[in-house]
Amino acid sequence: MPRAAYVTDLKTLQGECSANYWRLSRLLGELEIGEVREVNLGDHDKRFGALWLEVLEVAPYTTTVSISQSGALDSFVETPRMRVQLYHDVRMAEVVDFQRQRHFDGRYRYPNPRMHQPDEKLQLNRFLGEWLEHGLAHGHSLDLIR
């Protein structure tokens, strides 16, 4: 029986991007170009690592942010790294680069040469949402690094 082609769930993707905009806005605060915020992740006396947020570019309607994480497993696993574009006019944030891969399509045929999932773009933005939510729930920002 032939499988139906994946259809991009635009409403869900936009909802995720809108929620990520608000999550990132809370974590970034008033950071300016070149400033970095370290958000220590942990519970009580246990430290799991740190979330690093750096503002790369600011334009009238957009801001580009680099997000990465450091932790105890850095020498064993490649740490997650992404670039996110915030669109201030529509209040959305979208992953534009993940682990040095750029330009994600809304949907992919499967299988494909890079083995992207049919809904790769949605999955990346969901991952960003879970990552930021974890930072908001378990993070403690001590100061700003310039």
* pLDDT single digits (tens) 84-120: 999 999 999 999 998 666 666 655 566 656 655 656 7
DSSP 61: S
* pLDDT single digits (tens) 33-68: 999 999 888 776 777 788 999 999 999 999 999 999
DSSP string, 8-29: --HHHHHHHHHHHHHHHHHHHT
Greater confidence (126 vs 45) lies with 126
Query: Given pLDDT bands bounded at 50, 70 and 90, which one contains residue 80?
Result: confident
Please name the amino acid found at residue 99: Q
Global pTM reads 0.80
Q: What CA–CA distance (Å, rounded) separates 67 from 77?
A: 17
pLDDT at 37: 92
Q: Are 19 and 91 in contact (CB under 8 A)?
A: no
**Residue 133, number of CB atoms within 10 A of its CB:** 13
Query: Given pLDDT bands bounded at 50, 70 and 90, which one contains residue 77?
Result: low
pLDDT at 130: 93
